[in-house]
A and B are shown apart, each in its own frame.
Chain A
Amino acid sequence: MSRAPATTPSRAAIDWRNVFFSVLVPILAIFTALLIGAGIIWATGANVAAAYTGLFSGAFGGVQAISNTLVEATPFMFAGLAVAVGFKCGLFNIGAEGQLAMGAISAAVAGFAITGLPTFIHLPLALVIGALGGAFWGAIPGFLRARTGAHEVIVTIMMNYIAIRLTDYLIKGPLRDRNASAPRTPNILESAQLPLLLGPEYRLHAGFLIAVIMAFFINWLLNRTTTGFEIGTVGANPGAARYAGISITRNFVLAMSMSGALAGLAGAVTVLGVERNLKASFSAGYGFDSIAVALLAKSNPIGIIPAAIFWGALRNGAGLMQLQSGISINLINIIQALVIVFVAAPDIIRLIYRIPKTGDQQAVFTRGWGS
């Protein structure tokens, strides 16, 4: 090995070779999952080509389809970012589902109960209140972990039940719209609605743009600010963080609050952009699927954008696939599960496609051998 070169590469410099290899495995994982899915379709006697054509055109065939895919992708983006922020601090936030519910109910209340404000105040206010609802729900397990050592996985799972039942009660009880037949909250005011991006005939709303901007913002925050440095240090090596004078307690609470706020936004934009009210059956498993999205993106905030769009596309395209080939929508669940298996166990993909481990990964092998 030689001395460090005199020139100092920029901190933000992109190593394209690294990017290629880190993208390669998820892409091959998706490809392999689709291939196995094809085998399953074929085994049930259906037409593979028709099924996948249906899936693709349902997801991307035309402006309407793309618009719907991006609408589906938006909550995954927020909630995926939520999980990624937790990971960065070494915390496994299983609670996105509950934080999302708290964000949704907070935003819904802010949307219908606060009156007399112009859009440019009411809408941001409703979003912020939604984020705060999620942040509050996320901060609790963060605080408990930091102060008492209670494991965040257990606590967030339990908090999910509380949040989902609590919102259910509120929707069916005190917050129920007495004029509606089905249990739901009153509709939010027009001043709290997220504007539609492509006109009234398409569902795509400004929440998608906010999600993309948020991904870049979180990426910047984690990599370029002192806050990100602290969260990353606590996540990578708590001992070193303590040694460096970084408070683990503070960063656990901070990261879980940020994570909760992002999950809360996932709920808020769905209420303010799509549903316009909160129904009892609101929860669609976004919070749990977002763990998969974060995994697929390897917790990289920018990577969350395509990962979430892929997830949204599978969900959105499934309907047309079923229509065109008679294949059950449940096949999509199988494909999603396979993608996660392959992403979580990249060695399977490396073995199938004979991708050599990069020098970095090999070098890790020698750790502890007295090298």
Chain B
Amino acid sequence: MPPVLEVRNITKRFPGVLANDQVSFTLEPGEIHAFLGENGAGKSTLMNILYGLYQPDEGEIIINGEQVALHSPLDAISRGLGMVHQHFMLIPTVTVAENVMLGKEITRGPLLDRATASKRIRDLSEQYGLAIPPDALVEDLPVGVQQRVEIVKALYRGADILILDEPTAVLTPQEAEDLFKVIFSLRDQGKAIIFISHKLKEVRRIADRITVLRRGRVVGSADPQTATEAQLATMMVGREVVLKVEKGQAHPGQVVLSVQYLTVIDDRGTLAVDQLSLEVFAGEVLGIAGVQGNGQSELVEAITGLRSAISGSVRLLGKEVTNTASRVLYEAGMGHIPEDRHRHGMVTSYSIADNMVLSTYYNDPFAKGWVLNSAAINTNAATLVEKFDVRTPSIETPAGKLSGGNQQKVVVAREFSRPLKLLIAAQPTRGIDVGSIEFIHKGIVRQRDEGTGVLLVSAELDEILALADRIAVMFKGKIIAMLPAVQATREGLGLLMAGVTNQQSVTPAPDDLDFAIAASPDAGANAPEPPQAPV
């Protein structure tokens, strides 16, 4: 069968950047073709060209044997291309059916024919195993279902080629499994699928063929059956990547952070953190595992001075700091990698140099009295860019122009540039590439080894398992289990994250857990058994 899509020698230049360099590939009907690449490797540019948002400088696109020029997404849609963006393009306040038919409405005279539209949507849902309720409001649907609405929207417009841009980034593992089933069903019925990702595991699991991009170029393709994760990572990054974080035994010291019976409410006024207690010791990583939305964000905000706690106490190095201004906490030795780098971590319109001093700009040598000292600010930035391997054209570049991984390195570099006693790292590697993850993980371990107490909050179980010395599982605002990392298993933690504690005898109250038991492997033998894997 001829390829449904063929791309030949596509080149796209942006000022100062060669985003795509002679990229060629083919896509067969009934194929799942995965594109792997770090952030900034050119995946998104390539897909934006296919979807008609950018015009290539060179090269040709051939769809069903016919050379085409795609000037807008409308062109692309009329050629049978459909795209599901990472950030959904749905109107939350109207129904699924209305969203799906928007721009291509079924009408009866001047009126919308909702009944026919709903029926067509039901037919599509049934055909591909995409259960969606046509008459529900989009805002009431969970993220995984909203994503299916996007897929149905593309199919409704007659898409034969579906581009899925990082589709699992917003999904829970269970939702991702459901998505994979849908993708398989689409493939089996002849649709061609382009699957963009930087997650090695899922690409190996679902792709028929893998193409790896690096710095705008196709560096090779791989067979998911035979390629190992290590090989794929090496292709992606261009050098060997250590997927496992090397770290030695923790040598915990004094208590640096002590949280006692902390209660915090969220923006909607509901209880987010419920009488929570924990302690972080110098020279250890305490990992907080949990499905997102179980109060982790509010916990971090309360500890770092961004949100007021309604009761309970926080002590930093023995000093009472409940509801203290962030600046006071920073000056006492706290570092904070916030979970959302765009909302809190940086000012995207500011230069890298300015972002590197975002919380320290008023200190000598960055300011002499009232006046900023550009020379010192620039020297600081040049040093940190070098040390943290931030890939940027210059330190004057606005931070928003960098790829996600490099932006995160700017945040991490800034926080690590101060002497720290306590590091709060919330989702420190969310949405960034393998190379940057490796770099940031090493940095966190180095901080630990230098005696910093680290509180790591992550929705990625792999990250918790790789870095933490002790693991606390947070569920509905409480810590429902605390265990030494050596005793933790993926399956056990997964059950705990779902709130299942009754099968095991894991100590439920963290505040009376003796740290010595949790930290030392000898004593650990007496500690509660880790939860068992489900059968």
Contact = CB atoms under 8 A, between A and B. Distances in A.
A224 B372 contact: yes
11 contacts: A1-B393, A4-B352, A224-B371, A226-B361, A229-B354, A237-B348, A243-B304, A243-B336, A245-B327, A245-B330, A368-B86
B344 A239 contact: yes
Given A244-B358, A366-B45, 16 more contacts: A1-B16, A3-B386, A3-B389, A8-B379, A8-B382, A226-B361, A229-B372, A233-B358, A240-B344, A240-B358, A245-B330, A359-B16, A360-B401, A369-B44, A370-B85, A371-B40
B393 A369 contact: no
A6 B394 CA distance: 9
A46 interface: no
Interface string A231-256: 01100110110111100000000000
A362 B53 CA distance: 11
Contacts of A239: 343-344
A225 B370 contact: yes
Interface in B372-420: 372, 374-375, 377-379, 381-382, 385-386, 389-396, 398, 400-401, 403
A1 B40 contact: yes
A245 B360 CA distance: 9
Contacts of B165: 369-370
A220 to B, nearest CB: 9
B392 A4 contact: yes
Contact of A240 (B305, B346, B381, B391): B346
A340 B434 CA distance: 48
Interface string A300-340: 00000000000000000000000000000000000000000
B362 A226 contact: yes
A4 B382 contact: yes
Contacts of A243: 304, 306, 326, 336, 338, 344-345, 358-359
Nearest to A220: B371
A169 to B, nearest CB: 40
A4 B386 contact: yes
A354 B191 CA distance: 40
B392 A225 contact: no
Contacts of B95: none
Interface string A213-233: 000000000001111110011
Interface in B130-166: 165-166
Interface in A1-15: 1-6, 8-12
B85 to A, nearest CB: 7
B347 interface: yes
Interface in A67-103: none
A369 B50 CA distance: 13
B371 A225 contact: yes
- The 8 A-B pairs at the shortest CB distance, nearest first, are namely A245-B327, A359-B15, A11-B374, A371-B44, A243-B344, A8-B378, A244-B359, A370-B86
Nearest to A227: B370
Interface string B16-46: 1100000000000000000000011001110
A239 to B, nearest CB: 5
A365 interface: yes
Range of interface residues on B (Cβ < 8 Å): 35 or more
Nearest to A4: B385
Nearest to A367: B400
Nearest to B372: A224
A3 B391 contact: yes
B87 interface: yes
B87 A359 contact: no
A363 interface: yes
Nearest to A228: B372
Interface string B316-358: 0000000001111010000010100001111111101110001
A352 B165 CA distance: 35
Given A8-B382, A240-B344, A371 B374 contact: no
Interface of B: 14-17, 39-40, 43-45, 47-48, 53, 85-87, 165-166, 169, 196, 304-306, 325-328, 330, 336, 338, 343-350, 352-354, 358-359, 361-362, 367, 370-372, 374-375, 377-379, 381-382, 385-386, 389-396, 398, 400-401, 403
Interface residues of A, number: 40
Contacts of A5: 394
Given A227-B370, A240-B344, A242-B326, A8 B395 contact: yes
Interface in A24-53: none
A166 B352 CA distance: 48
A304 B43 CA distance: 42
B391 A371 contact: no
Contacts of A9: 378, 394, 396
Nearest to B330: A245
Contacts of B401: 360, 363
Contacts of A10: 374, 378
A362 B359 contact: no
A233 B394 contact: no
A10 B165 CA distance: 39
B374 A12 contact: yes
A367 B401 CA distance: 9
A4 B306 CA distance: 33
B377 A11 contact: yes
A148 interface: no
Contact of A244 (B48, B326, B389): B326
B325, B394, B398, B403, most chain A CB atoms within 10 A: B394
Given A365-B53, A367-B400, A370-B44, A6 B347 contact: no
Given A4-B394, A240-B344, A245-B359, A362 B14 contact: yes
Contacts of B44: 366, 369-371
Contact of A363 (B14, B39, B85): B14
Nearest to B89: A368
Contacts of B352: 4
